[in-house]
Structure formats: structure tokens, C-alpha cells
Amino acid sequence: MRRAALIAAALLLPLSAKAADPRELVVYAGKPAPGWHVTLVGFEGQELTLEGEAVTIPKPGNALVPNGAVGAHPSDFAGRPDALTLQWKEAWSAGWRVEGGAPLDLRPYLAEGTLEFDIKVDELSRGGIYFVVRCGPECERKLPYVVQGRALQGQGWRHLAFAMSCFARARDDFSHVTTPFGLYANGSGEVEVANVRFVRRGWPNAACPDYRTQALTPEPLLHAWSIGPWEQRHAAKLEEVRKLRAAGRNPQLVFVGDSITEGWEKSGKPVWQEHYAKYDALALGFGGDHTENVLWRLEHGEVDGIAPKVAVLMIGTNNTGDRRDEPEATAAGVKRIVEELRRRLPGTKVLLLAVFPRDARPDTLFRRINGQVNRLISGLADGKTVFFADINANLLDPDGSLSREVMPDLLHPNEKGYAIWARSMEPVLQKLLKE
């Protein structure tokens, strides 16, 4: 009763004033606190403000996913209308977030505080959820809860408490938080959330990765869309290596990376056939991979039993785009991969490529982060076994902009982009292959 009274009293205050409360700051309990609102987000860029009633985001006329749907409606928690239900179907991205009020100062909650809420997972067998705190225009901290969320399906209401260290990093400024809570989702599912609040001195009951070591701690890729297909691709690559060895063929060239490297088997295939098939080259690129996912694959046999002359490595753009990792963290992950390649392939030279540019303009957040990563990883080259090449200028227009004629989605090259990659890399690659 006392806790309920405190929450009820807190809701009478403007949310921006509650940062001084020594106990709790309520974000959502049936409705957002005065001055704030809930925004429902669709997977094709649509946004709607929730006014307390059930709402479904209308589909655009040229919907990319005709069967997709995103909706939300108020629901009950413990007999009270304190919850919000999110339903989504075949969505690359969906969710809701609390926003619109005066920015919050959450610094008093960082040292010992928790983000707490009640959650009921009705359906998540084909979906994933992520919890978000946005501390500024270029500061969004997203905590994946895909596997853990699926484990809660059908278990009824559960109370979760996350340490604020799950969201706050050393250089973050939590003095002007613009989105104190968001629930993001993908795939298909239905999840209810109630009683979202920050507790000044809380007791965490849910774990989270340490952002300082996540990029170099081996782990499979655990997004809703990757669970299953990612493991299947890993098994297929192990089989591909086995067949090459059984046929007495040793790959002289191996490419390691994420979806950009995987693209050699798709839009880049004609260029691959022209330049690299003659080397029995092996493409070990997996869509969505971060540095830790590459480490897991290497530790689980993808280069075992082969002895290529050169391993071409490019990785890190998903550390940037998915998690907004600090450049130092991504660079540490890249360094760990280089070390693992050297350990498993002692006779192989590593050609480390600068992470490719992304986004149209040179001044965007992700472009800047990748640029900082490249400056750090360039120092990994020793000119003997590890070499660094930055071909990014060849992919860009003279003013530094990235053209859709090279990367249609401003991230993944098309055939023209792969041709530029091959042509730009050819001099250094040929030198290494012949040594």
C-alpha cells in the first residue's frame, strides 16, 4: 500500500520535477506523466501519438511488407488499467516510447539506480524485444532482450529491474534525457508493459552485457531474425570448408566480415567470379555480425584446417549502427579478431580494411564513429603480418558524400560498389598473395 501511494503521489508531479525525488520517478503507469506522451512507431517510418485508445498504424500505399501490422492498446495490470500492449506482425522495427516532455536529469539515478517495470510476454516465438533509454539526439542506449523475452512467454506478469549501468556509459550525459523509456520490437509478437519507473536505490534482478567488454566477448548473433538462420549459415560454412579440404583444395583467400562481406555471394557475385573464384576463395560474411559474433565463429571452426595466403577482414559497422558502440570498444573487438586470426592461421597475412563509409553525408553520427574506429584500427598494422588499407575515398564522391549508385541503401554496395572494392584493393592484395 505504501509503495502504491508513493507512485500515485509521484504521478501528480510534472515528470521533469521528479528527478529530485529521492525514491522513484514514474514514467508510465496507465498513461505517461503530465507533459509527456506515448508515440507508437511503425516499421516503415510511421509514427502516431497514443491518446489512450487502441490504435493501429495505417499502412502506406506502397507498403514494403503487405502483411505487416503494428498496433497498441491499453490493458490491465492487477485489475487496473496500468499497462500498454504492443502488437506487431512481420515488422523489421516497431515499438513505443515515452517522449515530448522537458528533458529529465537522471544523473541522481545512475550510481545505484534501476530502471524497473512489469512485463507480460503473450507471444514472442517469432519476435524480439529491446528496451531503450535515449539520453540525447546522438545518445540512444538499446538493451536486447530477445532470448530472455522468449523465455518469459506464457509466464504471466514478471517484474524486471535493470541497473542503470545497463544503459549509461562513461561519457554519456544523462542530464537532459529526452526519451526515458522505449520498447522496441521486430518480427512478430505481443507484449504488455506496466509501471515503468526509475528507482533511486534499486535492486537489479536482470542481467545485461558490460558495454566495455561486449565487443570482444564471443557470442552468437541473437536477434529475432538471426536465431536459426545464423546458426544454419555457420554450419553451411563449416561444410563448405570440409568439402574443399576433402577435394584437396585449400582456399588461398578468405574474406571475413558482416553483411557487406556476405554480399560477395549476392550482388557482388559477378565481381567475385571474375577476381577471386580462381583462388578457391571463401566468403565468411554474416549479415548483422558485430565483432563478438565474428570471434564466436572463428572459435567454432570456420577457419580450422585451412591455410590461406591472405585473410581480408572488415568488421565494425554493426557495432556502430546497432549499438552505437564507442570507437574504442569496436577497435578492441577488431584487435581481438586480428589476434585470433593470427593464432589460428599463423602463416596467413591479414589485410585489415577500414570500415566502409555509410550514410549520405560525411558529418552524420555513424560516419563519424566509423571514422574514429578506422583511425584506431589503422595502428594494428605491423607491415609484416598485418596490413591496413583504406579504400573509402574510392567509394565516395569528391565532396565526401556517398552515392546510392554505389550503395543503394547507403550501407551495402551493389555490383558497381563491389567492382570498386575489388579494383581498389587489387594492388595491395596481389602483393600479399605473391609474397
157-163 and 114-136 beta bridge pairing: antiparallel
Q: Which of 234, 275, 290, 412 is catalytic?
A: 412
The secondary structure of residue 63, as a DSSP letter, is -
- Could you report how far apart the first and last alpha carbons of the chain are, in Å? 76
CB atoms inside a 10 Å sphere around CB 67: 9
157-163 and 386-389 beta bridge pairing: unpaired
| Cβ-contact 325, 365 below 8 angstroms | no
Query: Would you report the helix, strand and coil content of the chain in percent, each value rounded to 5?
Result: 30, 30, 40
- Report d(CA 274, CA 99) in Å as an integer: 52
| Cβ-contact 180, 113 below 8 angstroms | no
| Cβ-contact 154, 190 below 8 angstroms | no
- Is 188 part of the annotated catalytic residue set? no
Closest by CA position to 432, among listed 395, 383, 377, 394 = 383
Cell of 89: 506482425
Closest by CA position to 211, among listed 144, 257, 300, 112 = 144
**Torsional class of 185: left (φ above 0), alpha (ψ -120 to 50), beta (otherwise):** beta
Q: Which of 93, 259, 267, 378 is catalytic?
A: 259
- Is 259 part of the annotated catalytic residue set? yes
- Is 76 part of the annotated catalytic residue set? no
Longest dimension (CA), the chain: 77
Alpha helices in 141-268 (DSSP H): 146-151, 229-246, 259-262
Those residues with Cβ within 8 angstroms of residue 227's Cβ, 6 or more apart along the chain or in another chain: 146, 147
Closest by CA position to 187, among listed 37, 307, 87 = 87
Those residues with Cβ within 8 angstroms of residue 362's Cβ, 6 or more apart along the chain or in another chain: 396, 399, 400, 401
* Residues annotated as catalytic (active site), given as ranges: 259, 409, 412
